[in-house]
Structure formats: structure tokens, C-alpha cells
Structure 1
Amino acid sequence: MHIVISGGTGLVGKALSKKLRTLGHSVSILTRNRENKQNESNLQYVEWLSDTKPEQELGNVDAIINLAGASISKRWTKAHKKRMLNSRIKATQECIRIMQNLPERPNVFISASAMGYYGISRTDTFTEESAPANSNFLQEVSERWEKEAKPAEDMGIRTVYARFGLILDSKEGALPKMMLPYKLGAGGPIGSGEQWYSWVHREDVVHFLIHALEHSGMEGAYNVTAPNPERMRDFGKELSRVLRRPHWLPAPAFAVRMALGEMSVLILEGQKVIPEKTKQSGYQFYYENLDHALGSLLRKK
């Protein structure tokens, strides 16, 4: 297959592109600047979100995977919140425009979303069929993100919304930031510790996306979260055990809010998200339990 990826140089995109190529697929990565990016075997870089028309370079496309969006792991200033929303909206709108102008429309469009779609709760359990419990910035971004992808359905393209959990990776994303206090001997409970942490190993994200590509019956929203979320206090205890560092020094909620501002919602609040429809699709998680996931990422680090 010829697969087009936006956000192909990010945390998930890099690993996904590499895996697809090892499986024999051709990959085109949409990029704002292809300077110093060399085309390789089964890999090309195509400029977009500028004055270019990427559809003229892409040729026949079997699938588009939309992963583009500004990081949520930076402080949420007013300007960055605007970037977080606008980057996702513009990228998704451009994917739709490209599909409308390709010689033949792709078979499938997979667009990233986030478990933030459900709002926050310490008591509710959310599956793909759940309505949002409440509204906040991340919930509004996720809902708008999916809405902008919906025109693909109207074009007759099989459309999958991948609602990512908190992706675990040893070098990028939230996990290295969470590890730092433990490495300094100052790790411990964050806030109440009761908040849910619906995590997923990066390898499972990559394999789920390939699973969605290959299974033509899949469409609509899917939770890309491990089947066994953890409360933050238990996540921290497991992290301390794997790192062989103490878990003792509490970080009060007010201190986290002062340090991180509005972004603290990622740590102090959460939601228990279960991948019910994802498992029904036949996907089998490589990492269902946190001890296995953290062990694979950190024991040799």
C-alpha cells in the first residue's frame, strides 16, 4: 500500500513509518519543510500547509493517517492553546482537501483524536459509546478535531477516529518528565493520587494503527488505551519499583498547578477509558498491564 502520514516525524509517526516500511509498504510523509530530509527507499517527503499542492506529488494513495498537531506537553499559554487547536484543525482540513483532489480517493482515513474527548472524571468509566461527562479545553479540542475529519465519511471513505491515551515512551512524551523526580529521589504521590491514568505503550499505538489499516470492517471511534488503566498513586508506585527509586514525597495539587498552570489537568485530573470496541475488533494488546509496559521501556535504561 501507499500510505500518507501527517505528523510523520513525531512520537508515533516515526515509529509507524519505520514499521510500515519494514512490512513492505510505501510511505509519504507530509511536512512543512523538507529541507535536510532525504527521500529513501519506500519513503518520500512531501511539503504541505504552504503554497504547494501535495496531491500533485502523491499519485495513487491507499490510506491517509493524520497524526499532526502541536504538543500538549508544553505550558498552555494563551498562544500555545491556540496553536494546539489550530494545528489540529488546519492539518485535518488539509487532509480532507487533499483527498477531495486526489485522482482516486483513498480506501481509509485514520485521524488521531484523544481520550480527552470524554472530559474528566474520577468515578465514571468510558467506552467508545460514552458521551462526554463534561467540557474543558482538551474535550473541546478533541471533539472539534473529530468533527473536522467527518467529511471523509461523506466522501465514502472508511474513517477511523483513534482516541489516544497517554502514550508511554522512554525518551519522549510524558513519561520522561514523570521519571525525573524519581531519579532525583523525590518521587511520590501527585495530587490526591485518585485520578485515573489511562496509558498506552507506543508500540501498541503503532500496531493498532496498522490493525485499523488492514481491517476493512473498522470505522468510527476506537479507544487506543491499554485495557488496565491505573490510578495515579498506583502508577507512581509501579514506576518507583521499576526504577528502584523511593516513592515517598507528595506533590500537592496546588504546587503542581503553580508549576504547570492549566496544563496540570493532564496530571491532576483524568478519566478511566476502556478500549471495549478496540478489543472487539480483534486487536490484541502487546502491553495490557503497566508492569510489563514499564519494564519493556525502562529496565535496561
Structure 2
Amino acid sequence: MKILITGGSGLIGSNLLSMLEGNEITVLTRNTTQSKAKLGDVHHYLSTLEALNNLDEFDVVINLAGEPIVAKRWSEDQKREIENSRWLVTEKLVQLIQSGKKPPHLFISGSAIGFYGKQDDHAIDEEFIAVHDEFSHRLCAKWESIAKQAESEKTRVCILRTGFVVSKKGGALSKMRLPFKMGLGGPISHGQQYISWIHIDDMLQGILHLIGNSGCHGVYNFTSPVPVTNNEFSREFAHSLNRPCLFRVPSFVIRSLMGEMSTLLLDGQRVVPKRLQESGYTFLHPELRGAFLSLIKP
């Protein structure tokens, strides 16, 4: 297959490339030199979509591009950067898909469980509609709406509402490792807020599952079937590192450091992957303890 990937240098994209060996991969990146050094020269690289009239040469397009949502404090300028890095690329991809006579048969586009906004502890599947109107919801809602416009009789669209990705290298977990390894890690605030997480292996295998099953389309929650509270997540992470979990980070500290962005840590969602499991996907790491243990294996 010929596959176009945006966001190929990110945590998910860079790991996905190795899973797609044997296919002809083109990576859209702003810095081709830097991406080639990181990802290797076995792939094709594009710095812009402007030279293309359509995407007919590709069988699958995987759209994972976007400014990291926690890279900087959410100023109004940073919010616009987060939005534009997702919306504008997706709009251009959709336009190119619609312009072709033989468009890609599959368009996979990223999103996040931030679509649901802050929630209580009830389980949320893809049919949940009582979303909380906040920045993360508006960001994801428009992102998804743009992506869905690519759907036609020739192109199926799959949306990935991704949770907290746990991985050995990269991602938010790597930033947590040092304080926990020093015995200084612990729950945030009261710790009862839910964390909807997914192991990187299930993230990647789930995407391959969508590629290989022509009946899959629409929105999919990419989270473990067993979300946990922040208390449990912290205890299990500390346990995997053979460290105690004694400290607790007060909510006012998180708010003072992160501002509006603190909602990502202080307000939880108990999201379950109903449609992914119904489509036949079986999770490799459904339980958190086993997921963490797999990450510390040599």
C-alpha cells in the first residue's frame, strides 16, 4: 500500500512507521532534514501539500499532525497555534481527497478524549453526547467535523479519540518518570478523577485493525477498557518503579503552574472503547499493572 502520514515524528507516528514496514510511506513534515535524521531515509518526505492536486496516488492517509497540546501554557496565541496546526492540515487533506477521481480508500484522522470535556465518573462511550463545552471539546469537535467531510462511497473515515498514551519512551509518562523514580511522585489533587489511558502497543495495533477491516468507520475511543483513577494510576506507576507513592500534588499548585490547561490533569473522564471492541479488537494490555510491567522489561 501507499500511505501518507502527517505527524510522523510524534510519539504515535514514529512508532507506527516501524509497524508499517513493507508499505511505501510518505511523511508530511515541516522539517524534512530533521525528520529524515530521526525516522530514516527509507521513507519519502513532503514539506508541503501545496504541490499536490489530489491524493489519488495514496491508498491510506493517516493524519496525526498537531502542536502538542501541553507544550506551552494556553495563551490565546498558543490556543490558535494548537487549533491551526490541526484544523488547517486536515482541511487541506480533505480538499485533496475530494479533488481526486480515485481517492484513498481510508482516511484516519486524530482527535482526543478531550472531545468530551470534563466529566464525572460515569463510563463514556462513543454515543455520549452530554459533552462539557470547553477549549478541548471545541478543538476536537471542529477537528472531527472537518475530517468527516472526506467521507464518501470511495473513502471511509475513522476518527481516533485518543486517551493518555503510556509508552517506554516519549509522551507524558516520560516526564513523570524522574519524580516518581526519586520517590517524589504521587496523585494530583484528590486523585478521584479518572485517567483514560492506552498502551502504545494497543494504540498501534488498533490503528492497524482499522486499516485492515473495511467495515470500520466513524469515531473510535482509543483507550483501555479499564480506565483508572489518578490515585490508582499513581500507585501502579510507583509500584512498577519499585518506589513509594507518598506525596500528593495540591490542585492550587497545578492551577498556578498551568492555568486553564490544568483542567487536563484536574478533571477526568472515564472513557471506554466500546466501538473498537465491538469491531473485534482484543486489547493486548487491558489492565494498567500489566501495561506498566511491559514497559520496564528490557
Same fold (TM over 0.5): yes
Separation (CA, whole Å) in 2 of partners of 1:95 and 1:73: 25
Runs of 4+ in 1 over 6 A off after TM superposition: none
Residue aligned with 2:224, SS = coil
Counterpart of 1:60, as a letter, is E
Match of 1:83 among 43, 58, 81: 81
Task: Determine whether 1:8 maps to 2:8.
Answer: yes
Task: Determine whether 1:68 maps to 2:48.
Answer: no
Does the 8 Å CA contact 2:166/2:198 hold for their aligned counterparts? yes
Shift of 1:14: 0.7
Shift of 1:132: 3.6
Shift of 1:55: 4.8
Residue aligned with 2:3, SS = strand
Separation (CA, whole Å) in 1 of partners of 2:14 and 2:53: 22
Task: Determine whether 1:268 maps to 2:266.
Answer: yes
Match of 1:17 in 2: 17
Match of 1:45 in 2: 45
Does the 8 Å CA contact 2:13/2:64 hold for their aligned counterparts? yes
Unpaired segments ≥5 residues, structure 1: none
Going from structure 1 to structure 2, the CA distance change for 1:78 and 1:14 (only over 3 Å counts) comes to same
Match of 1:32 among 30, 33, 51: 30
TM-score of the superposed pair, with normalisation by structure 1: 0.92
Separation (CA, whole Å) in 2 of partners of 1:137 and 1:155: 33
Count of residue pairs brought into register by the alignment: 294
Separation (CA, whole Å) in 2 of partners of 1:243 and 1:280: 34
Question: What is the aligned-residue RMSD (CA, Å)?
Answer: 1.8
Task: Determine whether 1:256 maps to 2:258.
Answer: no
Does the 8 Å CA contact 1:122/1:194 hold for their aligned counterparts? no
Unpaired segments ≥5 residues, structure 2: none
Does the 8 Å CA contact 1:119/1:132 hold for their aligned counterparts? no
Going from structure 1 to structure 2, the CA distance change for 1:17 and 1:132 (only over 3 Å counts) comes to farther
Shift of 1:245: 1.2
TM-score of the superposed pair, with normalisation by structure 2: 0.93
Task: Determine whether 1:127 maps to 2:125.
Answer: yes
- Superposed CA offset, 1:33-85 (max 9, x none): 323537744x2111215xx31457x6621110110000012222222211111
Residue aligned with 2:157, SS = strand
Going from structure 1 to structure 2, the CA distance change for 1:260 and 1:180 (only over 3 Å counts) comes to farther
Match of 1:108 in 2: 106
